[in-house]
Amino acid sequence: MPEYKVLTAGDTALVIEFGDGVNRQLSGFVLALARRIDQDRPPGVVETVPTFRSLMVHYDPLVIPATDLIAHIEALMRDLRAAEYDSRHWRLPVCYDPPLASDLDEVASRTGLTPAQIIARHTSVTYHVYMLGFMPGLAYMGDLPPELALPRRQTPRSPVATGSVAIATTMSIIFPGESPTGWYVIGRSPVPLWRRPAMGGTRDAGRTAASGTLLAPGDKVSFAPVSLREFEDLSALAVAGVLDVHPLNEPTGAAA
């Protein structure tokens, strides 16, 4: 059983905290506990929200007292393993052409790499979705190759376009909408990250915060470079609402 502590967050939420770092093992414990709670959800538990190293559990104190919920969580923690389900793997197209990659040259200057080397490294790894946050559908994906790790800008820049692919620290993100940012924009994806939840279905355990989004905590993501012409064609399909994106795999029990 991993080390953890339970913290109160007001009178309607608990936070189960695993460690103090950001890595895939801690994320695995967070997602595994979320899955167990969602599979064995007692009355009064409203929602589970995974973060980098903790799980927030929202509950109704009029239905289940905090002491009872803590006891339930302690029972679920026994023999908890960091990986208790298969994740979905997405392959998302990204165009790295200069018109869509406003910070690619700056990243090259800061890292000592050429733009081509940055693209090659950015597309060379399979990313892990740690959590969703900041705006609907925005997935924090790690881990960047170490040579691409840069601190965020001290002063945020003006809003960047929807679909902008950006990097900072050890993470990469895709903006689901226009937003100011201190991250470095190195490309753009035509794939919408916000979608309607499936009718009549339920989200997989550990994915309750992801309803309505394409990506969910625990998913894996690879980036595939596309040309500017391919990006424009895919963007037209997205605007028409007919760009259909599916995971490379569809594990049993995973959200559709």
How many CB atoms neighbour CB 63 within 10 A? 13
Question: Which amino acid is present at 153?
Answer: R
Distance CA 62, CA 249 (A): 41
Taking only the tens place, the pLDDT of each residue in 14-69 is: 999 998 889 999 999 999 999 999 988 999 999 999 999 999 999 999 999 999 99
Distance CA 19, CA 23 (A): 10
Instruction: Kindly state the DSSP code that residue 250 receives in the 8-state scheme.
Output: -
> Rg (Cα) of the chain, in Å, rounded?
19
pTM assigned to the model: 0.88
Structure tokens at 206: 């550990």
Position 196 confidence tier, pLDDT thresholds 50, 70, 90: low
Of 160, 153, 172, 181, nearest in space to 223 by CA: 172
CA–CA–CA angle 17, 213, 161 (5° rounding): 105
Does residue 186 register a pLDDT over 60?
A: yes
Average pLDDT for residues 212-236, to the nearest whole number?
96
Q: Which domains does the chain have, with CATH numbers?
A: 5-76 (3.30.1360.40), 89-239 (2.40.100.10)
Distance CA 157, CA 73 (A): 42
How many CB atoms neighbour CB 108 within 10 A? 16
Average pLDDT for residues 170-178, to the nearest whole number?
96
Long-range contacts of 35-44 (CB under 8 A, 24+ apart): 35/84, 35/85, 35/204, 35/205, 35/206, 36/76, 36/80, 36/84, 36/205, 37/73, 37/76, 37/205, 38/203, 38/204, 38/205, 38/206, 38/208, 39/205, 40/76, 42/68, 42/69, 42/72, 44/69
